[in-house]
């Protein structure tokens, strides 16, 4: 990729990182604030669901921050290779990099990797013949 495109992507990554840091983690409220009080059995499922949602969001936020940090490091260390698929070394489409500037793989290689990671997924139509 050219230096101008790399700079645009770097700015986008920095903006995304700042936004994620500004948002911060969601608070995970405890089910029981006061140990002397009885748990409200009607409110407990809603509180548990809120805890799961907050936990999932915080985990996804941490994953995205790690991806952004790794992308910024790759951009700094090997700017000429940034934007090339790490598996097939073909250019990653510009639209994909606009949406996910931390992308390491093209769509084809990403799909293959995800398909391989699925437990029990068949690899080819002839697997069951």
Least confident span in 9-13, 107-111, 114-118? 114-118
For 12, what's the count of Cα atoms within 13 Å in the CB-facing half-sphere? 15
pLDDT at 124: 60
pLDDT at 9: 93
Query: Residue 116: is its pLDDT beyond 60?
Result: yes
| Residue from 75, 72, 66, 74 nearest 21 by CA | 66
* pTM score, whole prediction: 0.71
3-state class of 28 per DSSP?
coil
Q: What average pLDDT score do residues 8-23 get? A: 92
Gap between the Cα atoms of 79 and 7, Å rounded: 10
pLDDT at 23: 84
């Amino acid at each position: 990729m050219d230096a101008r495109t790399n700079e645009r992507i770097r700015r986008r990554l920095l903006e995304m990182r700042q936004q994620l840091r500004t948002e911060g983690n969601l608070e995970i409220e405890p089910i029981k604030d006061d140990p002397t009080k009885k748990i409200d059995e009607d409110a407990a499922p809603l509180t548990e669901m809120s805890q799961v949602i907050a936990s999932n969001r915080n985990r996804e936020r941490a994953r995205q921050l790690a991806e952004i940090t790794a992308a910024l490091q790759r951009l700094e260390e090997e700017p000429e290779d940034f934007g090339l698929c790490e598996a097939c070394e073909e250019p990653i489409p510009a639209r994909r990099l606009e949406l996910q500037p931390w992308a390491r793989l093209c769509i084809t290689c990403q799909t293959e990797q995800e398909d391989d990671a699925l437990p029990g997924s068949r690899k080819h139509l002839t697997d069951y013949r």
